Structure 1
Amino acid sequence: MLGKVTVDPSFWELFPDAQVNIMLVSGIDNHDTDDNLARRRKLLREGSDKAEDFLGAAAFAKNPVVAEWRQAYQQFKKKKGVRASIEALLKRIDKGEDLHPISPLVDVYNSVSLAHGVPIGIEDQDKLAGTMHLGQVHEGLPFQPVGADKDEPTLEGEVAWYDDQGAVCRCLNWRDAQRTMLDEDSTKGVIVIESVNADQAQRANEAMSDLEELLEEFFGIKPDKSVILTKDAPSVDVD
Structure 2
Amino acid sequence: MRFHHAPGVRSAHPTLVAGVLAADGVTPDVAVDERVAHFAGLARQRLAGGAESGFPEIRAWRRAFAAMGLPPTRYRCAAESLLRRFRRDGELPRLHPLVDLCNAVSLAYAIPVAVLDVTRIDGDLAVRPATGEEEYVTLSGDVERPEPGEVVFADGAGRAHSRRWTHRQSGWSAVRDTTGTVLIVAEALHDSAGRDVPALLDTLTAELAAGWQVDTRGAVLTAAAPAVDVPG
Structure-2 separation of matches of 1:172 and 1:53: 28
Structure-2 separation of matches of 1:112 and 1:173: 16
Look up the match of 1:214: 207
Q: Which of 220, 226, 234 is the equivalent residue of 2:226?
A: 234
Secondary structure in structure 2 of the residue aligned to 1:74: helix
Structure-2 separation of matches of 1:198 and 1:59: 19
Number of residue pairs aligned between Structure 1 and Structure 2: 229
Contact map agreement 1:77 1:159 (CA 8 A) in 2: no
Look up the match of 1:138: 131
Contact map agreement 1:57 1:63 (CA 8 A) in 2: no
Contact map agreement 1:54 1:65 (CA 8 A) in 2: no
Please list the CA deviations of residues 145-203 of structure 1 after superposition, one character each: whole Å capped at 9, or x if unmatched.
112x3212111221111102310111111111121111111110111011113313322
CA gap of 1:78–1:129, structure 2 versus 1, over 3 A, is farther
Contact map agreement 1:17 1:197 (CA 8 A) in 2: yes
Contact map agreement 1:11 1:134 (CA 8 A) in 2: yes
Contact map agreement 1:23 1:191 (CA 8 A) in 2: yes
Look up the match of 2:88: 95
1:91, distance to aligned residue in structure 2 (A): 0.6
Look up the match of 2:113: 120
Look up the match of 1:25: 23
Alignment map for 1:99-178 (pairs within 5 Å): 99-147=92-140, 149-165=141-157, 166-178=159-171
Letter in 1 for 2:136: F
Letter in 1 for 2:78: S
Structure-1 separation of matches of 2:54 and 2:24: 39
Contact map agreement 2:56 2:190 (CA 8 A) in 1: no
1:119, distance to aligned residue in structure 2 (A): 0.9
Letter in 1 for 2:54: K
Structure 2: state its 5+ residue gaps.
none
1:61, distance to aligned residue in structure 2 (A): 2.8
Structure-2 separation of matches of 1:144 and 1:237: 25
TM-score under structure 2 length normalisation:
0.90
1:129, distance to aligned residue in structure 2 (A): 0.3
Structure-1 separation of matches of 2:154 and 2:36: 29
CA gap of 1:22–1:226, structure 2 versus 1, over 3 A, is same
Structure-2 separation of matches of 1:89 and 1:107: 11
Give the superposed CA RMSD: 2.0
Please list the CA deviations of residues 14-38 of structure 1 after superposition, one character each: whole Å capped at 9, or x if unmatched.
1112121111111112x23xxx44x
Alignment map for 1:55-70 (pairs within 5 Å): 55-56=47-48, 61-70=53-62
Contact map agreement 1:76 1:157 (CA 8 A) in 2: no
Contact map agreement 1:118 1:200 (CA 8 A) in 2: no
Alignment map for 1:7-18 (pairs within 5 Å): 7-18=5-16
Contact map agreement 2:52 2:83 (CA 8 A) in 1: no
CA gap of 1:122–1:189, structure 2 versus 1, over 3 A, is same
Q: Which moved more, 1:64-73 or 1:201-210?
A: 64-73
Structure-2 separation of matches of 1:236 and 1:99: 31
Alignment map for 1:175-214 (pairs within 5 Å): 175-214=168-207
Structure-1 separation of matches of 2:57 and 2:47: 8
1:7, distance to aligned residue in structure 2 (A): 1.1
Please list the CA deviations of residues 71-124 of structure 1 after superposition, one character each: whole Å capped at 9, or x if unmatched.
121121448821100001111222142224321111121121112221111111
